[in-house]
A and B are shown apart, each in its own frame.
Chain A
Amino acid sequence: MAAIEVLDLTKTYGELQAVDAVSLEVAEGEFVGILGPNGAGKTTLLEMVEGLRRPDAGTATVLGLPVWPRNADLLPRMGVQLQASAFFERLTAREQLHTFASLYAVPSATADEWLERVGLDDKAGTRVEDLSGGQAQRLSIACALVHDPDVVFLDEPTAALDPQARRNLWDLLSGLNNSGRTVVLTTHYMDEAEVLCDRVAIMDSGRILQVDSPAALIRRLDAPARITVAPGAVGLEEARGIAAVDDVQESVDGVVLTTRDPAHVVARLAERDQLDGVRVQTGTLEDVFLDLTGREYRA
């Protein structure tokens, strides 16, 4: 059974078609990312799936139950982290988590375990206003998970974090679906979607353009690989002579060989000991986005 079924969800704000007939199915235990630039409609889509917003058209069900109107039987099985830090003012990290635990009839001991799991046990007595961005995000994720929900929605959990804090948070997020939990996250970071998600839905201008695993999306793109070696490591004419090389360019970085068979080309270069400073770039999700929308990705 699908954990989440979305069919033709549509939402319009005045002139703006925020979400345009989006359909999506998420299997139980799957980690799905909705990737797109700001303003793509990710949050509006997520809020309709959570049951926060009434869709203009279409339906969304979670665990087989319709999310609209508000269904008090479904809510305890859903965990939600919203974009802003939705906290009670002036409570400490522990008090915050205990309050949310009480709303779900979860014992305080479980709440304390979660504090430890998100690495905030040494910040237990710190007020939420005094937590760093990363710590606040960890706390709000703990608040979303404290009642051990079957389905978790995370709306841009790493937005506004520095790269270090973002990677720290990935460690926490990557194991979330291990025990069969279904996770849906929105992000505008390509690398984040690639690292965390089983499948990625690429969204732009209110529509989902493609859904697949990151590897399959890139493979389908059928983009050539670019092999770069140090300047002078290989002569231009010599490089053009290697089988399967489609194009050779010289740049300040060095010599760039374009090919659809990087394994073969690297092997040939290795035979001649011409691998000085080698770097192989295959297609990225950015290329996928460019291919799908015809424009550069700007988060």
Chain B
Amino acid sequence: MSSTSGRPSSRSAFVALSVAIFKGFLRDKGAVFFALVFPLMFLVLFGGIFSDQDQSKVDLIQVGDVALVDDLPEGAAEAFADTFEVTTSDDLADALEQVRKGDADVAIEQRGDELVAHYTQTEQVKSAITQGTLRAFVDATNVAQLAAQTGEQPAYSFEAVSVEDDSLTAIQFVTPGLLGWAVAMSASFGAAATLQGWRQSKLLRRLQLSPVSTSTMVGARVAVTIAVALIQMAIFLGLGSVAFGLTLSGSWWMAIPTLVVGTLCFMAIGLLAGAIAKTTEGAVNMANFFVLPMAFLSGSFFPLDAAPAWLRAFSNVLPLKHLNEAMLDVMVRGEGPSAALVPIAVLAAFAIVVTAVAARLFRWDTA
């Protein structure tokens, strides 16, 4: 009796395995949730909250004539219009009622040389903006009048420049960090669950007895994980740009190779978790145990600028920190492509070392 079949081309086996793994991922509601839905919830949350705070104007009711506002010099009038949405009214009582009810944020009137602002403390952010801004305009007008009277230019002048406009608004900061966390989760969970699941079901053994080489098996798993990471990236960047005004800087494409190497690094962490743990759930939990604290300490959720120095120093041993920093640099901080090179090297080194450790701990069987 002769066999009708033979050794498959490694390409067709690779494709078949990749398709099988990818279908398995798409049909795993838990995996899709943690890879896509969960991080996107954070993106919507963070992007939504912070963009709301720094974009909406302060509603201001101007009661009667307010010379200070009416006579603002041209540049200052523009800045004033950027900050305040001005409506006019002659009825002070009605204006105060509107402020009290929250329909307007502040009502201003001028009593002689005194500018009076009525506001509520309930909207703390807006009342702070209102006080600070109005005081600045009053000071500026005083200085201008003084200068006009004495004929001298003031020694100091002040120009307020919003930091956000020039560098990082909330969405600019949170998108790369959350994307890094999302990829770290899906890559490590996927590798951990596959290794454990295949070992428990003896599929690993079964494949060992098929004419497919180990490198083809590993290659298929790596290819699917990288594909998932790139899909995550496309969805994050797409949603960020369309819904929250994310703008990418010139060499953002460098985030792609960074993300690919980062994916390999977190797959290695997942393999390590899968090699150590004894059950599939245990493996995923262990991967989460590595990744979630790392996400906090690597600035995925909030910047580390305010963190103590020792914590910032410690974060340098975390691969996610390097992934996040590299993606921030090339995606939103406008750094050149070379900014990602050192982080890529660090991530690659992590991947190699962790894979080597996982390989040492690897067992074919659960027993």
Contacts and interface: CB of A to CB of B under 8 A. Distances in A.
Interface of A: 50-52, 70, 72-73, 75-78, 80, 82-91, 95, 98-100, 102-106, 127, 143, 147-150, 179-181
A164 B344 CA distance: 59
Nearest to B217: A103
Contacts of B210: 75, 100, 103-104
Interface in B6-35: 6-9, 12-13, 15-17, 19-21, 23-24, 27-28
Contacts of A149: 3
Given A86-B206, A90-B24, A150-B1, 7 more contacts: A72-B211, A85-B201, A90-B23, A106-B4, A148-B3, A180-B1, A181-B1
B9 A105 contact: yes
10 contacts: A70-B208, A72-B7, A84-B202, A85-B201, A88-B20, A103-B13, A103-B210, A104-B8, A147-B3, A149-B3
Contacts of A51: 209
Q: Give the bracket for the number of chain B residues in contact with chain A.
A: 35 or more
B251 interface: no
Contact of B15 (A85, A102, A105, A181): A102
Contacts of B364: 52
Contacts of A89: 24, 28, 197, 201
B211 A104 contact: yes
Given A100-B210, A105-B12, A148-B5, A82 B28 contact: no
B205 interface: yes
Interface string B174-207: 0000000000000000000000010011110111
Residue among B7, B206, B208, B213 with the highest chain A CB neighbour number at 10 A: B206
Contacts of B239: none
B212 interface: yes
A8 B16 CA distance: 39
Nearest to B4: A148
Given A84-B202, A85-B201, A100-B210, A76 B3 contact: yes
A127 B24 CA distance: 10
Contacts of A102: 8, 12-13, 15-16
Contacts of A99: 16-17, 19-20
B60 to A, nearest CB: 58
Nearest to B21: A88
A82 B205 contact: yes
A52 B209 contact: yes
A84 B27 contact: no
Contacts of A150: 1, 3
A86 B3 contact: no
Contacts of B4: 106, 147-148
A102 B21 CA distance: 14
A88 B24 contact: yes
Nearest to A51: B209
A276 B338 CA distance: 98
Nearest to B23: A91
Given A70-B208, A89-B28, A104 B12 contact: no
A77 B209 contact: no
Contact of A88 (B5, B13, B203, B211): B203
Contacts of A127: 27
A91 B21 CA distance: 9
A78 B7 CA distance: 12
Contact of A76 (B19, B23, B207, B211): B211
A294 B335 CA distance: 81
Question: Top 5 A-B pairs ranked by shortest CB distance?
Answer: A102-B16, A105-B8, A86-B206, A147-B5, A90-B27
A83 B23 CA distance: 25
A80 B208 CA distance: 11
A31 B37 CA distance: 53
Contacts of A70: 208
Contacts of B16: 98-99, 102-103
B43 to A, nearest CB: 27
Interface in B79-114: none
A105 B200 contact: no
Residue among A50, A75, A89, A95 with the highest chain B CB neighbour number at 10 A: A89
A91 B209 contact: no
Nearest to A149: B3
A146 to B, nearest CB: 8
B51 to A, nearest CB: 38
Contact of A91 (B13, B20, B197, B206): B20
Contacts of A84: 200-202
Interface in B151-169: none
Contacts of B19: 99
Contacts of A90: 23-24, 27-28
Nearest to B210: A103
Contact of B211 (A50, A103, A179, A181): A103
B8 A91 contact: no
A75 B209 contact: yes
Nearest to A84: B202
A204 to B, nearest CB: 21
A149 B364 CA distance: 24
A175 B350 CA distance: 54
A87 to B, nearest CB: 6
A100 B16 CA distance: 8
A80 B364 CA distance: 17
A52 B184 CA distance: 34
A52 B365 CA distance: 11
Contacts of B21: 88
B23 A105 contact: no
B5 A106 contact: yes
A105 B213 CA distance: 14
